[in-house]
Amino acid sequence: MNSPLRIGIAGLGTVGAGVVKLLAEHGRLLSVRGGRPLKIVAVSARSKARKRDIDLSGMRWEKDPMALATAPDIDVVVELIGGSGGVARRLVQKALASGKHVVTANKALLALHGTELAALAEKKQRSLAFEAAVAGGIPIIKALREGLVGNRVKRLYGILNGTCNYILTTMRETGRDFDVVLAEAQAAGYAEADPTFDVDGIDAAHKLAVLTGAAFGARVDFAGVHVEGIRRVTSMDIEFAQELGYRIKLLGLARETRHGIEQRVHPCMVPLDTPIAHIEGVFNAVVVEGDFVGTTMFQGRGAGQGPTASAVVADLVDVARGRHMPAFVVPAEKLATKKASPMDRHVGAYYMRLMVQDRPGVIAAVSGALAKERISLESMLQRGRSESGEVPVVLTTHETEEAAMRRALARIAKLGAVAEEPCVIRIEAF
Ligand SMILES: NC(=O)c1ccc[n+]([C@@H]2O[C@H](COP(=O)([O-])OP(=O)(O)OC[C@H]3O[C@@H](n4cnc5c(N)ncnc54)[C@H](O)[C@@H]3O)[C@@H](O)[C@H]2O)c1
Ligand SMILES: N[C@@H](CCO)C(=O)O
Ligand code: NA
């Protein structure tokens, strides 16, 4: 029997406990597939006493997770604590510097420090693997690094946050309120420790930044992502979307434009006749358009204990097999520094919902504001009358530059008859 791969796990929450369970259940199978046993030698978490429903016998308990980074009997440290700074960052740095391989599910850490950590791993000739960090159980990092490596990526986009997709789906299906549905996602273990990361689009932006690095051979640039979350999407907009032939999804999208790399995360109107419109609930999907392969789509569970553990273990088997690959597809020193394409230069169509006073001339004034910016209208919907005297008016535009749309919105804001800040959602064409 070959010598075991000796594993130290930091963090025994949703994901860490899942990894312990999976390795226990598939131990024999994995030792055949990996060519040697995968053995958890030591674990660390905040509370030893906490009930976890996993068997930790035979594993050393380390009070301080940093001890895993230097323990002579550990080959690979699995970081499942979370957070972009603090202990997770120190642990990963120290483990790599001490010559350990690192497997992590921590997209926040990778989005902010991925390039530097990849460089350290390569200097030490160790793996930094993070399949679980992006789209959970979907093997998208592997796909970019291996199956699609022959292509130049033209564009990628996806549903990258299970919590938001679950909220948008459930709001549409049941008409229930945002807060109630968010609490369900938290209870199911999908949401981040701080759920504002989910609903404000930050988690999806972390994942998009990591994907963009791997897909475009660029240094990871989280600051270059334009981010908007789903808080302002109302049931009314979800209904209007349906009526217009769209579904509202929080997408992350990246492509190269003549202005640089455009990375954006925001609610989108997705045409109902595209497959991604029908990815519902906690499911994620990633579409990669390659110049030779064409369009490929990957879908599956992007969050939760089982899917995330599945991805962590895939990375562990790669390490057991001795497969050592650059973290972001190309060696870290070859990752290019690319400019972020400014959002003002984005070109696309728009959905705009206004609450307006129901009186003559208001719609003419709104369309006048758009016309002044040379924005052409595609359609308009107006709904009934209300007691408050305010009614929703929905406009969709043809393609225009975002800068023009912003100027038009500033004009509209000055119209006395428009009651609140308009809800604007970009319409995507695929
Ligand atoms: N839950 C998911 O579906 C999911 C999916 C993909 C990626 N992730 C990522 O996986 C990581 C873990 O997520 P989770 O949902 O399991 O979180 P969790 O909150 O359930 O678990 C975190 C664990 O880390 C431990 N921990 C926290 N601070 C510590 C410290 N200072 N020292 C030692 N241990 C400490 C906690 O005790 C706990 O055991 C995060 O980076 C998260 O973003 C989670
Ligand atoms: N909070 C994340 C977990 C998976 O990264 C989500 O909802 O998608
Ligand atoms: Na993945």
pLDDT digits (tens, 9 = 90+) for 8-21: 999 999 999 999 99
Q: Which atom of ligand 1 is nearest to the CA of 81?
A: 24
Q: Which of 267, 265, 285 is closest to 275 using CA atoms? A: 285
As a CATH number, domain 5-133 is 3.40.50.720
- What is the structure's pLDDT at 175? 86
- Give DSSP secondary structure letters for 236-294: HHHHHHHHHTEEEEEEEEEEEETTEEEEEEEEEEEETTSGGGG--TTEEEEEEEETTTE
3-state secondary structure of 402: helix
β-strands 347-357, 423-427 pairing: antiparallel
How much is the average pLDDT of 48-52?
93
Point out the ligand nearest to the CA of residue 207: 2
Of the given ranges (148-162, 256-270, 312-326, 376-390), which has the lowest mean pLDDT?
376-390
Tell the CATH superfamily of the 346-427 domain: ACT domain (3.30.70.260)
| Mean pLDDT across 260-265 | 98
Instruction: Give the residue, by CA position, lying nearest to ligand 2 atom 4.
Output: 303
What's the whole-number mean pLDDT along residues 116-131?
Answer: 98
Q: How far is the CA of 133 from the centre of ligand 3 (A)?
A: 6
Question: How much distance in Å is there from the Cα of 136 to the middle of ligand 1?
Answer: 14
CA nearest neighbour of 341 among 252, 428, 429, 224: 224
Ligand 1 pocket mutation, candidates 22, 46, 164, 284, criterion most atoms within 8 A of CB: 46
Positions annotated as catalytic residues are 207
Q: Mean pLDDT score of the chain, rounded to an integer? A: 95
Produce one character per residue of 298-317: b if its CB has 16 or more CB atoms within 10 Å, e if not. bbbbbbbbebbbbbbbbbbb
- Between residues 180 and 398, the one the model is more confident about: 398
* pLDDT for res 179: 86
pLDDT, position 385: 67
**In this structure, which residue's CA is closest to atom 5 in ligand 2?**
303
Domain with CATH 3.30.70.260 in the chain: 346-427
Higher per-residue confidence, 359 vs 384: 359
**Chain region(s) in the chain for CATH 3.30.360.10:** 140-302+324-343
Give the H/E segment covering residue 116.
Answer: helix 107-123
Please state which of the four CATH numbers 3.40.50.720, 1.10.260.40, 3.30.360.10, 3.60.40.10 is assigned to the domain occupying 140-302+324-343.
3.30.360.10
- The whole-number average pLDDT for the span 148-161 is 98
Is-contact 375 397, C-beta < 8 A? yes
Q: How confident is the model at residue 324 (pLDDT cuts 50, 70, 90)?
A: confident
Best residue among 130, 192, 211, 312 to mutate for probing ligand 2's pocket (most ligand atoms within 8 Å of CB) is: 192
Ligand 2 centre and the CA of 185: distance in Å? 10
Which of helix, strand or coil describes residue 149?
coil
Using CB distances shorter than 6 Å, the residues near ligand 2 are 136, 161-163, 190-192, 198, 203, 302-303
DSSP state for residue 330 in the 8-state scheme: B
Cα of 236 from ligand 3 centre, angstroms: 33
Average pLDDT score over residue span 52-67: 97
The per-residue pLDDT for 418 is 87
